[in-house]
Structures are given as structure tokens and as C-alpha cells.
Structure 1
Amino acid sequence: MPHTTLYPGTHPLHRRPSLIALAVRATLAIGLLGIGTLHAQDTGTSSQTPGNDASASKAKTLQAVTVTGSLIRRVDVETANPVTTIDAGQIAASGKPTLGDLMQAMPSVAGNATNPSINSGGGTGASTVSLRGLGDNRTLVLVNGHRVAYNDVNSIPSNMIDRVEVLTDGASSIYGSDAIGGVVNFILKDHYQGVQLSADYGESSHSDGNRRSFNLLAGLSGERGKFVASITHQTQNPIASGARGYSAYTLALRNGRVVRVGSSATSTGLIQDASGTNVTLNSGVSGATTLADYHPYTGADSFNYAPYNLLLTPQDRTNVSLFGSYKLTPQIEAYFNLFYTRTVASSIIAPVPIFANSDDFLIPASNYYNPFGLNFGTDRTTGNGYNDFDTRLTSLGSRTYVNRTYDLQFTPGLRGSIGDSSWQWNVDFNYGKVRQKTLNQGFIDYAAFQQAIGPSFLAGNGTVTCGTPSAPIANCTPINIFNVNDPSTIAALKKLLVNPDSFYRYTIEQVEVGANGEVFDLPAGAVNLAAGLSYRRESQSDGTDTPSAIAINEGPYAGLCGVMEFCASQLGGSYNVKEAYAEIFVPVLADLPLAHALNIDIGSRFSRYSLSGTTTNSKIALEWRPIADLLLRGTASQVFRAPNINELFAGTAGGAYAASDVCDGYTGGHPQACANVPTDGSFQQSNPQIGGRSSGSVAAGYDLKPEYGKSFDFGLVYDPHWLPGLSLSADAWRIHLNDTIVDGLDPTTIMNECYGSDRLCSLIHRAGNGQISYINLPTVNLGETWASGIDSTVQYTFNTQRYGKFNLSLASTYMQRYDVDTAPGDSSVPITHCAGYYCPVYGEFPRWRGLATLNWSKGPWSATWTVRYVGRTRVGSADLSQGYSADESINGVVHPIGAYAYHDISASYALAKYHTTLSAGVDNLSNKQPPMFYQWGSNGNSDAYAYDLVGRYYWMRATVSF
């Protein structure tokens, strides 16, 4: 489907309609015209049909359902849409108290979807889904077909779920923005009779990572009304990186050897003396210092920050869920869904480091405690950079981020039918609100710290005083920053301690009106139409309750954080979208030779965004059954995603990122990328972590545009009648995106873009000595993205009288291509190839992923064996143009990662007499440790997005029903 061109001088969303789009609109218009004759046709058909045809029609209507990916109600389960279903039984057999691990094990999931093992940059307890590796912002999450305010699947109560439908196809024409990689639709139980109690406990083979969960499910069902309620409470203990051998130290590949690395910001400090030699304080020294108190700095003096991090973040989660429906009349029903989740989770990182040059501090020679007679750091008033000085404030303890998230979703509505026709209608209001408050502990006030390490002198009363004799500073205690472990220094530092609060608030309000039913009959069957209108408003605000934490935007320290290593800002905004949509299903042929069925499904959605303009996106799907056992299917869709509220209005936040400066060893030729860097080849990055300030596009002053593209899916489903219980399917898919929205650029991408093409150079801020002070990391549009691959599934169910019932399923995804071109048309910027590789920005994309499950049941016994397969991948690229090597010292080194298979087993026994089921299981049965990614790892020297960091894990559960 060729993409439409733009009208010159118009907004990017005002596109010329393609020929397919015009055809779609014409077809839909014909279908809409048929609505006017709907009642006459239905009435006429009914009156001319003898016997019980009316009852049969009614029964057929009752059996028809909508499947994720379509608005049309149909009896067929297998359609043109590639949908995978996970039912409540599979969820229970997995033993997972939350849904994150279960969803992220799907072969179609790849990339950097967060989970509770993400410590730095995580810590909210959330798990998200990234279908096709396109990012969780391109996977639409629904509950009962409605958008959720918070895409954390762990916040959805697992005991309330009837099934999960996962659509792995672009669906912008059906659901609007965000449904590019696919859709995950959690369908809740709409009825339950009785009470169910369950308790769960788990623990790793290392006797840590303990989890506990308690669940209550209760329901009543009557002729006119149904009501279901659930209360769940879950806790998860943390696991420290130091508790596992593979993550106790930060590791790197250098010159082909695995070495332990650390930070030059140590509690004894790294100081560059007058000769240019790096020295550090001798152990045990306290009080005033002299040059004799220092010795030459070596790698053995570096600070091991790894044990401070977490392999599994702590969580405490409580959920209350309600569902109810009541028939007001035989044809009108009122209903509501409500769930509320409170999650408390946290992350921990090492104590605050100080890098005087990159943090833009100045320790002048006139500091009373300075024994060197040298300036250290950067003078922001002049821009001059001086000698290096690094240290770490270990006496203040670790930095912790305690996140409290409150997620409310409430959807009331009315639905009903129109007379005796097949038409049904629905009106609902979807309200969601998320509040997240973070207490950030262990930080230092920037301005007060600069005063305390600035000029100081010995006053006449014998006390050391801030400032100069002619201009002393009141209410300031000078700090001997050259000995942070001295008791008086510790006391002075604690006076500067700041624990800033930051908050995030988001609200979605949506009203939707829709109807669907049969329009007219064709020889092959009835033409069905679904249509509707939608209005949605989203708003967001970010801020802090600690004014000193707000990013400094004026004066000589503009561009820095108000609190060392922590930035915040006050920012908010909103937008709305008005939409009209329609979908028509046309049965073309039926019950003919080589045409057991031939159907066409066409849909289109018109959207008007208050901030992004208008767009129309369409799809066409074909279903062909040459014989009853074989379904051939194909879908071509236009996909679209407007910038979401967070990408637009997220406030500024500070962080530290592991990245290598592209200007190491610089000898000239790139003045924009390497501003202030010496050209004699002597320059080396002083800190392995680079300070970054992430934000939405508005805060950075960037004009963010929507992204758009095309999605194709072609496949087959084979259900042989000669072997009941067997089902085979395969689907080839392809996605292409233009103007890709990149949320939260990483420093490496920005440096490479600047170094290769002078793009994004304004985001890099260097000190006077060339060291990077910080890099802005806004949300931007960055080129094109291609992804393609093949999905396949095998399912076989059979029952034996002697050995019981067996169900075998095998799902796999082959990633054929995942390419990102950040600068189309610019040959100086290489295309990033991720298929078969770990890409630091986008995550891991092994060629193969698989999930195999064997279920067995006989009498009161049941058991499950699950194998999750992560195929081979590689770290680094032999293509030197990629600028990506697994070795820090040698270019073009590729580090292979072998294939991994995780085995989980579980068994249950039902005590029918006591209405009780006992279950137990072991996850990661073979206790596999994750592969080593060394300096490229996202957490614990490995990839926490793709591999298990915990090891063997035991769990047990008891469930009692009344």
C-alpha cells in the first residue's frame, strides 16, 4: 500500500488519500447507505422464513462475538487477524502472580519493555509489552476493548481475567493511534458465582526474592444482574546485585580480556595534581590534608558501584476490582468496570558521585582545605575548565527512588439491541487516572554545595569561613571535599542533604458511541457493518514539591540540575482527538469449489488531533478458504501514531547513562561534536557514565511530528479434519515507519548523530576542558524503521483414556529484519541493523524466539512444562561504520551470545471434597545464569529485558472455592 503524499505547505497529517483509501471510503459509504433499509430487510426475511428460522437467527446472534482486531461480531474464531489467546487456565498454570513475566515470554515480544528487574531507569514495579520490539508505546493495551491509562500489565488483576487476546498486526484503522506493533486486550470475567480464596508464596534457591500474594474473588449471578469483585495484595522482596557472582562487579571487555571496572568517583577521591598525575587519598587519613596524604591513582582504587544496584526491585501492590451489569429492559443493559491499583516500588543506586568538570563545580585554589594550590572543575562564569576532581559521598548512603503509583480505571456504559434485528449498540465513558509520586533520597543541593566548596578562609576567631575576608558568606559551613570521610565533613554534607519529591499525573477521558449489525444479504451471507464516533481527551502534568530541585534555567549555572544528579521541572499540557470509524465485512463467495469461503473486511478511521492535525487510516483484509480445513489470509494497513502525552509534555528528569565519549583520542575534524576537546589525541573520558536530561519535546523546544507507515500480514491456518485437535498457522509480517518518534534518546545515539552528520549537536553540552557536562535527551523524530519476520504456531490436543488429556503448543517468531535509519539519504550515518543483534538503544533481537508448553491432566492431577527459548544473538558489530564494538579497546569486536532455554514446571492436585487445589512449581529449573553482555548490559552485566536474573525459583499456591 503506497503511502500518500503531502499537500505542499500543509500540516503533515493532511495527506492526499491513496487509491486504496478512496476505495475503502466508497465501500463504507455503500454499506452505510444500506442501514436505511435494515429493518425492512430483516423484517421481510423473518416473515418469509417458516418454522424456527427466527430462533436460529437469534441463536446465531448470541454466539457471535467480536475478536480483537475487528469491530464486527462473528461466529468464526479464525479470521484475517493474527490473534493469540491466553486463557485463565494458562495464566493459573504459569504460577505468575502478575502478568508481566507471562506476557513478556511471548515470542512476538522483543526490545526494551520494562520489568521489575530494571533498576536504573525502572523501579516502578511496572511491566510493559513491546510487540515486534517496536516499543511499548507502539503496543496498545486494552481492558475489555478500552484504552487503559497506565500500560503496566502488572496492575491488571490476574484472577479477574477470562482471557487475553494478543493481536500482532497494525490496527490503527480499528483502534486509532498506538496500535502499530499490535494490541493486547485483557478481557475480564463478566460473571462468577461463589467465593474463591488463594495464597501464593515463592522464594529463589538463594533464599532471597521472596514473594507473597493473597487473592479474593467473589461473584453473584442472577437473571437480570451480575456482579464480580476482586481484592489482591502482592509483595516482592528485592535482590541485590551483590547477591549473585555474575553481577557483584561491573565487568567490561578490554583488549580481549574480562576486567573489573569501576568509577573514578571514589570516597577517597581522584585528583589531578600540578604534574597532571591522578592521585587519591591514602587510606585512613582524616583531618586536614597535605600532598603527602596522596598516592598515584590506579584501577584498583576505583569504586565498585555494582553491589548497590538491584537485580530485582521491591514491590508492594494492592488491587481492588469490580464488574457489574444489570438489564434495565430485555434489550438494554447497564454495566461498569472498575479497577484501582496502588503500587509501591523502589530502585537503589550507589551514593552520589561528584565529577567536578562534568558536574560543573569549581573548587578554587583559594579553598582553605585545598593543599594543591590548583583550581579543580569548571568555572561556569568564564567557561574555563581546570584539573580533574572526582569523589563520592558514600557517607550519605545510597540514592533511592521510592515510587508510589495510583492507577484508577472506571468504565460505565449502556448497551443493547435494536428490536429483533441483529443490530447492537453501545455507549460508554472511559475514565482513567494515574498519579505517581517519587521520593528521591540521598541527594545534595547544588547551589549550597558550590558555596561550601568555594573560596574559604580562616577567620580571626579561628574558624574556617565560606567566602573571602572581604565577602564572607553567612549560614555556610566550608566542606573539606578532599576528605569526605572526615567526621566534620560528613556533618557538613548532611546539612546539604535534599530528598526531593517529584510527581506525575495523567488523565484520560473518552466517550464512545458505536453500533454493529447486518446490513443486507448476499448469496454468500450477510454483509456486516460496524461504525462509531469517539472523543478522547488526555492531560498530563509533571512537577516537584521541592523547588530547589527544579532545573536551573537562568544565570551562570543555566542548564544544570538544581539538585546534584537530579533534575525536575514544572510542566503540563493536554490534547484531544475526535474520531469517526467504520468497518464492513463482505462475504464474497461460499460453498463453491476452491471457494469454501471468500471474505473481504475493510475498515477506516478518521482522526482529528488538536495538536497534530487530521489523518485517515484504512485497512483491507482478505480471507480465503479454498477448502474447509485451510484458511489463507492477508491484511494491508496504514498505521499511524500521534505523539503521546508523555512524549510531548514530560518534564525534565536527570540520570546517569553508561556511554563512551566519541571524542576519546580526538585529533580534530569534528568541531561541533568535540567542542573544547584537545586535538592532540590525549583526551579521555573521565567518567564512564554521562549525565543526561531526558524530557518531552515541549521542554526541549523540539517540534515533534506524528509517525506513520504501513503494515502487512500474510498467512495461513490449517486445521485438518483428519486429525482432530491439530492446528497449524504461519504468518509473514512487515512494518515500515516514517518519522519514527524516539522517546528518550540515549547519549550514544546523539553523539554518533553529531559526529557523523552534525545533527543533534546542540543537545551535547561540554565543559571548558572538553568533558561532557550533560546531554539533553528529548523525544524527537528520527528517520525510518523497518521490521519484518515470520510467526508460526502448532497446537495439538488429544485425549487418552489411560494416560489422560494432553495439550501441546509451540509458538515461534523469526526476526528477519529490524533496521533503523536515523538519517535517511545521509550515507555518513549508517543504518542500524538489529536483527540477530543486541542494539543498545532498541534492545535485543535474536533471530529466533520460541515458547513451548505441554499441559497434562488426569483426574485430580494436572501438570505443565513450559520452555522459553531465546535464540542466539551478538553484541558488537564487525562493520566499523556501525561504531559498535563488544570490546572497549578494539574496534569491530563481536561477542556471540548462545541460545538460551528456560524450563518451568508446575503441578496441581484438586481436593474435590474440600474444594481446594494445591499447586507448586519451579521456574528456571536448570538455574541458568544470564549471559554476560559486560559493559553493554542493561543491568547486572546482562540484558535484564530478555533474560532471567534471579535463577531457580520455587513457588507454591493454595486455592479454596466456596
Structure 2
Amino acid sequence: MTHRHTAMQRGLLPVSIALALAPAFAGAQEAAPAENATTLDRIEVTGSRIRQSDIETAQPVIQVTRQQIQQQGFTSVADILQNLTSAGSPAISRAQALASGEDVGGYYIDIRNLGAQRTLVLVNGKRLGISTSGLQDLSQIPVSAIERIDVLKDGGSALYGSDAIAGVVNVITRTNFDGIEANAYLGQYSQGDGEKQSYDLTMGNVGDRSSLTVSFEYAKEEPVFAKDRPFSAYGNVGSGYADDYPFSGWSPVSQNGSALLPCGPGGALTWCTLTPGADPTNPANYTPLTPDQYANSNEQMYVQTGIERQSVFVNGTFDITDNVRFKADLQYNKRTTQQQIAGYPFQSAAFGTPLSGDSFFSPTPGEDLSFRRRLWEMPRRTESKLETFRVAAGFEGSFQIGENYWDWDIGANINRNENIKNSRGDASLLAAEQALGASWFNPATGRVECGSAADPISYGTNFGNGECVPWNPLAPFGDAQQGSLTNNPDLIAYLFPQYTDTGRTNSKTYSANLSGTLFALPAGDLGLAVGYEHRSEDGRFVPDAFAQTGLSTGLPATTTAGAYSLDEYYAELEIPVLADMPFAKELAFNIASRYSDYSNFGNTTNSKFSFRWRPMDGLLVRGTYAEGFRAPSINDLYGGIGGSFESYTDPCGVGATNSVNGNAACNAAGVPLGYVQLGQGLVPCTGYPCQTPDQFLSGSNPNLTPETAKTKTAGIVWSPKWVEGLDIELDWYNYQLDNAIISDSVDRILSDCYVLGDASRCAGITRAADGHITNMFFGLANLGALETEGWDFNVGYKLPETSFGKFTINWDNSYTSKYDTLSQDDEGNNIMVGQVGTGGVFRLRSNFGVNWTKGIWSANWTARYYSGIYESCVPNRPCSDPDRIANGVPDAINRLGSNTFHDVQVAAKLPWEATVAVGANNAFNHLGPTMFTQPSSNFPYYGGFDIGRVVYVKYQQRF
């Protein structure tokens, strides 16, 4: 790191762009470049709006160059940025197989663990389009089009507006490219799965007054199954614990089916399963369901989703005069992501759909029968497609007043995202109720059919046409008898329709900016930048009709739709105070402020102050103070109601750590003494958090207000003269986030109600007579607060060239000394609770890299270090510190060690203008520890860690 329409129409869009630009491309090739065509040579750097020929801002900025990108084995912008030491836990990681909604399948970046929605992403200084949730999908950006990536690790709302609380990622694309370049990448995990491939072609030419760069890219990564990794192969027990806790991570809702029958000892009612191949109508053919017949749902789940991307990026400029230029970026991207989770755990009691006593398959004629059946034959698969159409165009120019230069630009940035999610695997409840109803054997057709001999129902797969296919949910997986899902395409077609969710978001920005120098001061020019922006956002996400009506086993959801607009004005001053004086080679201040007027909540003003002080050559002292904000998103304000099967720990259950079973609040709720929390299939939980058997609901809040933040940084940059090529940076940061929009989590509500005794928090909790929670609603609120503080320490050293070649060393470190979130103590008082070392909040992340070049050869090695972490203890699992007390209450934890992943690459330049490279990410095939709390994952593993060794080869050809 350096510090400083129709399907045919859409498919033809990339070709159409290329053909439309071909004449301009040819004209650019014919023109001869001029040495000094224009005076448009001042640049705008990330972190300042003032254009100058050369400026170093007071803010900490990391720069990832194209050369550094090529030295890595990653094929997406998100993977490159995720390995920055200041990056937080991935939002909706590829290991979160159970995630649902509009944003699933995208790649997002989170700086400082403040949340991806609080990191602003720009392309060439212009906003990337957002989803209704306010997230910006980095998979839209083709790596082949990138020149460099600037990461501002500081609040930027005063200059860039909403969302720039944690920082700003500015992707700078390639311009003035001359020639043709083609790249190919092939890789896979050493386990033989997760194949990766990427191909790109970039063409460009520069004329005397114009330039054109066109980049095409295709990339694909195959999914990886959870059953093929040791930490997830045995259910959510984790690698190394399967023998100690056999089947404890498996679901009692078995793919073999089970029903409540008198097959237990002495004829006791228990969950019983049919002997494969036996007559389902004979109760004697059923035996008690045993744990080894439980469902290991991880066998059917992806531990890493698959993704396919097709991109076209075009950048063009034309100098109308020496002082006026037209610029345009055009982008098309199509991203397709594949998810798969296990077949649905169908529980008839949850939907009121028992096996009818009039069913031909019933072992209890005349009496309806409750059953459970994992729909193993039809895993739930979702294909998420996102198409992005983006254009940023405008004019820029310069003029001179006396000795002072001024730069101006006007332009528009339009981004449209279209989202289609196709899924299958959830059963239609309407069809299931019919298929489980009365059925009879038709001797004329030799098959079981719905209805009865006196009142038959047409056999067929079209429910809407009044047809029906009968279902025997008690037929075990693999048993192809009549009514079974095994080898029965008619029944599968009848029960499992195709579901389609659709969405669209539109972002439009119109802007005008002016920057230059007002007049000269003794220490330099007084710089000024002013600007105006108008932005509008509208979006909708429409779930399938089955989801909206709750008539399938899928999660219920309703439509999200809304819009807002805003006008913003900003000003920035660069004030040089001292120059070329003893202990003050430079002293300058920068002041910026932005006024934002939103159509939905009103206005807000955010300002920023920074300074640069060079007491001597080679030493820079810098600092900033910034105000920031994040406006509520469309989904925050106007989102629909959604359902989910939450994993939580009920404090009223005796199996929970720090149980309060028997206290006044639990007794008032009717929770029996000795109650054990019930999970799927209403079976007592043996591990925590435990997933509910019932759907809970969550939703938006139209009365939300903006989040606010205050950011402070201070640091030094030292380049000692006596060690040529050495640069050292040390920066301190502090972020305070207030009024944060958070989901009012299940665990927080339960703790407030039953542990802290806040009766107002109990109103939305519904319990059954046996004590288990059957329903909850939890929405969004401005309830959150967070403070984080730490240090960044970076060393870059370009060693003098030797006979052994050139060596470059980079050592980047991010140390988090504080990460506190708002909570409550046992008396109900608000307190800030430390989270450093939990989940993905590592105390120290460190990347140490060495690059070597000699002649045609080069090599790169990077070690990515993550400090030790801990998680809350759960029953029946290892616990290293069971007697720990935190904030005056027991808080047992399990401590886990540090982790280091090593990446290597060796490359050679070939005589025919080509480069070939081979490498491995996570070269030693290191796996992180088992984590039962599943941070950023749906498996007992941290979702930001490598899941195996990736070996790859890359080839580049230049023309």
C-alpha cells in the first residue's frame, strides 16, 4: 500500500457501446499526441476539493496502486480492500448463506468496523449508486479499469456529504491509456473446488486533443460447499469437536421425516420415522427417530457463494479548447450470484398443515397427524442478478485572473441498478395443504391421486388449474415409493414454484464546482473551493407475491418503496500561514463546511478543520476534526415488514449462560421453572445461540433522523534524510457515532425485558403455554452509539538496489484500543461496553509485505496477521474463562489465538511484451479457529478469514 429493458437489449449493450465509440477510438489513434495540449493539469486529490498541481492533504490517505493490485491474487475490488488493515468485518460476507433481501450477493467495504453503509464509495470522485439499504456494491467496478484506489481514513461529510462517516473509498480509473492489454487469471482452492477465472481486455489511445479507454472484463468464481471444509462439515459443531458433541449441531427436522406416534418404549408418543421401503400406513413400521438421523443442513449449504461478473467501462475526454474539456465515464455491469441453503425444515404445526387422516399415506386413518420433514430433495437456491447502468459526464475548464488560476466543472452522474432474484426451494403452502389432504389409490391409473373416488381431483402440477399431486411427507429421503419427493418430478414441480423478487434504484446527481486561489499570502496562495450538488434517490424492492402474502415456507416480506432529494452547498478554504521559516517549513490550515437540505427530514450542516505543519524537511505533523452524518436510507424509512428465523439465547431458559429462570419477569411471562429453550422442531436446545422454530418480524421506521458523528485524527509522517527511501507514518484516530440507526435485536429486547426488568420492552414478546417464544417484532430506531479509537502505524522502505535486486518493504498496522457500543447495566443505566477482540473487531491487524525485482523476475510475499479474539461461552462447548466478570455481571468467554495468512507470487516478464505470474493466497492452507458465535457467517468460523489455499496463474499480454 502506498501512503499518501429486454434481455436481448441488455445483453447487446456492451457491444453497442463498443461499436458506438469505434469511430472516436479510430480518430484518437490517427491523431498525433501533443506535448502540452492544454492547461488542464491541476488535479483534485481525495480529501480536498481544491485543485492544485501538487498538494498533500492533512488527512490520512492510503493509496493502492495498479502495480500493487497486480501483485495480489484477488480478482475483485472488495477482496483487495478487505485485506487493508483498517477494513472491518465484511458486510453480508459470502459465508452468510442464510442472508436474504436485496443486498445479498453484493460486495461491500467497511472501514473501522463502523458499518459498510458509513463508508462512501466514489468512482473518479463521483458517487457509486446505492441500494435501498444505502449500500454501495463494489462488484460493479471492474478491476481491469482501475488505475489506483484512494482510501481516506477520516470523516469526509464536509466535502462529500452523507455516508462518509468512517471514510471514503475513491476508485480512480485508467485514463490516457495507449495500446492494448489483455489479462487472464485461473485459480482454485487446493481442495479442488471454488474455481476462479477472470479475463479482461483494455484498449486505448491518446490523440492531441482526445483520449479513449475501453475495458471489458469477465470474471467467475464457483461456490464452495460447507461439507467440504472441516469447520462446517459436521454441522455447526466445528472442526475437532464432532467426536465430543456428536450430532449436537444437527437439526431434529430430519430428511427422513418423522411424526408423533406411539412407537416409544411402552407405546409412548414420540417422534417416529418410517423404515425405508415399508408401508407408511402401518404404525408398526415406525421406529423412534435417533440423533444420527437428524439433518446436517451444512451438507447442502454453500460456505462461499458463487459469483459471475460481466463489465464494460469506457472513459473518454475531448479538449474542446485549451481550457475546456469534455469528460465522460460509461459503465455497464452484470453481476450474478448463486446461493444455496438446505431444503426447508417443514414443520406442519407451524403452518397448520397436518397429514390428513383421509390421506392414503396416513398411519392414523381418520385422525390428522403432525409431522416434520426436511425438504432435502429440493435445496433452496437463489440466483441474484444485478445490472448496473452508470454514466458520469460533464465539462471542466480553467481560467486565469491575474496570477491566480481557477478551475471549474459542471456535470451529471446517473446510476441505475436493476435487481432480479429468482429462487426455488420453498414450498407453496397452498399446494402443500392440498397435497397433504385426502387422497386415494386410483386402480385405473395405478397411482395415488388427490381427493377420493367419489370426488376426485385432477392429477397434475398446476395448482392454479385445480390440479394436485399427493405427498407422503413420511417417506424417507431416497425411498422412491409413491408420494415421496424422491425421483418424483411431478410432486416437486407441484410443491415448489419459482419465486421472483424485483428491485430498482435510481441515483441522479447534478453538480457544479469552482476552485482556485483568491490571492497570494506571504506563505502561499489562499485556496478556495465552492460547489453545489442536487441529488435524488428513489428505489423499490418488490418481493414475490408468495412472500408478501405469507403463502410459502419462505420468509414473509413486503414491498420497500420510497424517494427523497436534497440540495447541498459546500465551501473549502486552504490557508497557508507560515512557510520556509525555522521550525515551520510549512504551516497551513484547511476549513470546510457543507450544508445539506433533505426533502424528508430537514437540513444539517457539517464542518471540518485540519492542519499541516512541517517543522523541518522530511517531517509532517497533521491533524483533523470533522463532523459527519448519515441520512436514513429508503429501506430504513420506507422498508417493508420482513420475517426471519432468529438465533438467540433466551435468558429465561435454564440452559442459557447467566440464566434468570424463575425471576419475577420470567414468572410473569408464564415461563415454567426449569424451562429449557426450544429450537427447531420444538426440541430443547443443546447449543447457543439457538435458532427459533417460529418466524419473527422486523421492519422500518419513517420517523428516523440522521446519524451523527465526530471524528478526530492526529499523526506524523517522517521521511528521514539519512535513510533514503524510508517513510514512517503514525496516526491516531477517534470516532464517536451517536443517534445510530440500529435494528433492535432479539437478544437486546430479551435482556431488557427479563434481565433488566424493563416492562415496556416485553410488549412485543409472545410466548406459548410451554414457555417458548412464538412471535416477536423488532424494528429500527436511533438507539445506537459507538466510539472507537486506535492507531495506524505504517512503514514503507525502498532499499537501495543491490546485486541481488531491488527490495521494497511495506508494513501496515491498525491497532484498535477502543471499540465501545451502547448497552445497559443490570440497573438499566446506559453504558458503553468494550468489544475489542470480539467477532471481527481485532485489536491488531498487520500486513507485512516484501517485494523483490531483478531483471525479468519479481516476487512478492505478504503476511496478513489478525490478533487473538474471544467469544461468549455457550453451554456444552469449550470455555477458557468461565468465571470472568464484566460490568459487574458474569460474562464467561472463550479465548482464541491469533491467525496469520501468507500470500506469495512469483512473476516473470517475457520477451514478447508479456508477463506470467503464479501464486498462492493463504499458501500454508491455514484455517482459523472454530467460533460458535459465527461472526459474519452462518458457520462456526469468522466470515472474513480464508477458507483454504488458493493457487493461481496469471498471464498478461501487451500490444
Q: Report the CA distance shift for 1:400/1:763 in structure 2 as closer, same or farther (over 3 A).
A: farther
2:841 to 819, 839, 845: 845
What is aligned with 2:505? 506
Counterpart of 1:5 in structure 2 is none
User: In structure 1, what residue type is equivalent to 2:373?
Assistant: T
Residue 876 of structure 1 aligns with an amino acid whose one-letter code is S
Aligned residue in 2 for 1:434: 417
Structure-2 change in CA distance of 1:180 and 1:280 (3 Å): same
Matches within 5 A, 1:217-366: 217-252=202-237, 257-260=244-247, 261-273=249-261, 277-359=269-351, 361=353
Aligned to 2:16: none
SS in 2 for 1:228: strand
Matching of residue 710 in structure 1 with residue 713 in structure 2: no
Paired with 2:815 and 2:69, the residues of 1 have a C-alpha distance of 25
Distance of 1:551 and 1:865 partners within structure 2: 51
CA distance in 2, matches of 1:488, 1:681: 38
C-alpha separation in 2, matches of 1:373 and 1:749 = 46
Amino acid at match of 1:196: E
When residues 927 and 77 of structure 1 are mapped into structure 2, their CA distance, relative to the original with a 3 A threshold, is farther
Instruction: Give the gaps of 5 or more residues in structure 1.
Output: 1-57, 378-387, 553-560, 839-843
Q: For residue 337 of structure 1, what is the amino acid of its counterpart? A: D
Give the aligned partner of residue 98 of structure 1: 76
Report the Cα distance in structure 2 between the residues aligned to 1:73 and 1:643, rounded to whole angstroms. 32
Question: Pick from 855, 861, 876: which aligns with 2:857?
Answer: 861
- The equivalent of 1:833 in structure 2 is 834
| Partner in structure 2 of residue 945 of structure 1 | 943
Percent of residue pairs identical: 28
Tell me which residue corresponds to 1:207.
192
Write the deviation string for residues 118-158 of structure 1: whole angstroms up to 9, x where unpaired. Answer: 43327954321100011110110110011101522232111
Partners in 2 of 1:824 and 1:578 — Cα distance?
Answer: 42
The alpha-carbon deviation at position 285 of structure 1 amounts to: 4.7
- Aligned pair partner of 1:394 in 376, 391, 394: 376
Q: Return the match for 1:681 from 675, 678, 689.
A: 675
**Which residue does the alignment assign to 1:159?**
144
User: In 2, distance between residues paired with 1:477 and 1:291?
Assistant: 24
Aligned to 1:646: 635
Deviates more, 1:686-695 or 1:313-322: 686-695
Match 1:127 to one of 107, 111, 114: 107
Contact map agreement 1:534 1:580 (CA 8 A) in 2: yes
Supply the AA of the counterpart residue of 1:784: A
**Equivalents in 1 of 2:514, 2:551: separation in Å?**
54
Match of 2:929 in 1: 931
Give the structure 1 partner of residue 483 of structure 2: 488
SS across alignment from 1:390: strand
Opposite residue 795 of structure 2, the aligned amino acid is: V
Instruction: State the alpha-carbon separation in 2 of the partners of residues 207 and 602 from structure 1.
Output: 55
Name the SS for the 2:635 alignment partner. helix
How many residue pairs match? The answer is 868
- What is the Cα deviation at residue 243 of structure 1? 1.8
Alignment-derived partner of residue 521 in structure 2: 522
Deviation, 1:667, is 4.6
Contact 1:376 1:389 in 2 (8 A): no
C-alpha distance in structure 2 between counterparts of 1:242 and 1:631, whole Å: 53
Q: Could you tell me which of 385, 392, 417 is aligned with 1:411?
A: 392
Contact 1:733 1:789 in 2 (8 A): yes
Does structure 2 retain, via aligned residues, the 8 Å contact 1:541–1:571?
Answer: yes
CA-CA distance at 1:747 after TM superposition: 4.0
**Pair 694,625 (structure 1): closer, same or farther in 2 beyond 3 Å:** farther
**Displacement after TM superposition at 1:107 (Å):** 0.7
What is aligned with 2:162? 177
Q: Which amino acid aligns with 1:710?
A: K
Change (3 A) 1:685 1:157: closer
- TM-score, with length taken from structure 2: 0.83
Say if 1:813 and 1:908 are closer, same or farther in 2 by CA, change over 3 A.
same
Which stretches in structure 2 are left out of the alignment for 5+ residues?
1-35, 131-135, 459-465, 655-659, 682-689, 884-888
Q: Please give the residue correspondences for 1:594-613 in structure 2 after superposition, counting only pairs within 5 Å.
A: 594-613=583-602
Tell me if structure 2 keeps the 8 A contact 1:270–1:278.
Answer: no
2:626 is the alignment partner of 1:637: yes
Q: Is the contact between residue 635 and residue 700 of structure 2 (CA under 8 Å) also seen in structure 1?
A: no
Contact 1:876-1:885 within 8 A present in 2 as well: no
Q: Which amino acid aligns with 2:293?
A: D
Q: Look up the equivalent residue of 1:924 and give its one-letter code.
A: N
Distance 2:121 2:169 in 1: 5
On the 8 A contact 2:825/2:831 being kept in 1, the answer is no
2:344 partner letter: V
Q: Which amino acid aligns with 2:186?
A: Y
Give per-residue Cα distances to partners, 1:509-568, cap 9 Å, x unaligned.
Answer: 010111111112221111111110111000111114x43x1333xxxxxxxx22112334
1:578 is paired with a residue of what secondary structure?
Answer: strand
Please say if 1:728 is aligned against 2:728: yes
- 1:695/1:432 Cα in 2 relative to 1: closer, same or farther (>3 Å)? farther
> Structure 2: how far apart are the matches of 1:730 and 1:333?
39
1:22 is aligned to none
| CA distance in 2 between partners of 1:954 and 1:566 (Å) | 38
Q: Is the 8 Å Cα contact of residues 648 and 696 (structure 1) preserved in structure 2?
A: no
Corresponding residue number in structure 2 for 1:697: 700
> For residue 534 of structure 1, what is the amino acid of its counterpart?
E
Residue 871 of structure 2: aligned partner: 875
Conserved? CA contact 1:251–1:259, under 8 Å: no
Letter in 1 for 2:514: A
Q: How has the CA–CA distance of structure 1 residues 591 and 102 changed in structure 2, closer, same or farther, with 3 Å as cutoff?
A: same
**TM-aligned CA deviation for residue 715 of structure 1:** 1.2
- Conserved 8 A contact 1:177-1:641: yes
- Aligned pair partner of 1:958 in 942, 955, 958: 955
Comparing 617-626 with 354-363, which one deviates more in the overlay?
Answer: 354-363
Across the aligned residues of Structure 1 and Structure 2, the Cα RMSD in angstroms comes to: 3.6
> Are the structure 2 counterparts of residues 169 and 472 from structure 1 closer, same or farther at C-alpha, using a change threshold of 3 Å?
same
Instruction: Describe the SS at the equivalent of 1:94.
Output: coil
CA distance in 2, matches of 1:761, 1:228: 60
Aligned position for 1:147: 127
How far off is 1:693 after superposition? Answer: 6.0
Q: Distance in 2 between matches of 1:209 and 1:76?
A: 45
Question: What are the superposed Cα offsets for residues 723-769 of structure 1, whole Å, 9 maximum, x if unpaired?
Answer: 12111111111111112112x56544444344444566555555565
Matched AA of 2:198: S
Cα drift, residue 658 of structure 1: 3.6
The separation in 1 between residues aligned to 2:344 and 2:785, in whole angstroms, is 38
Q: Is the contact made by 1:437 and 1:502 (CA closer than 8 Å) also made in structure 2?
A: yes
Superposed, 1:102-113 pairs within 5 Å as 102-113=80-91
Matched position secondary structure for 1:72: coil
Classify the secondary structure of the residue corresponding to 2:405: coil
- Secondary structure, counterpart of 1:532 in structure 2: strand
One-letter amino acid of the structure 1 residue matched with residue 164 of structure 2 = A
TM-score (norm 1): 0.83
CA deviations 1:578-609 (Å, max 9, x no partner) are 11111111111222222222111111111111
Aligned pairs for 1:63-102 (under 5 A) are 64-74=42-52, 77-102=55-80
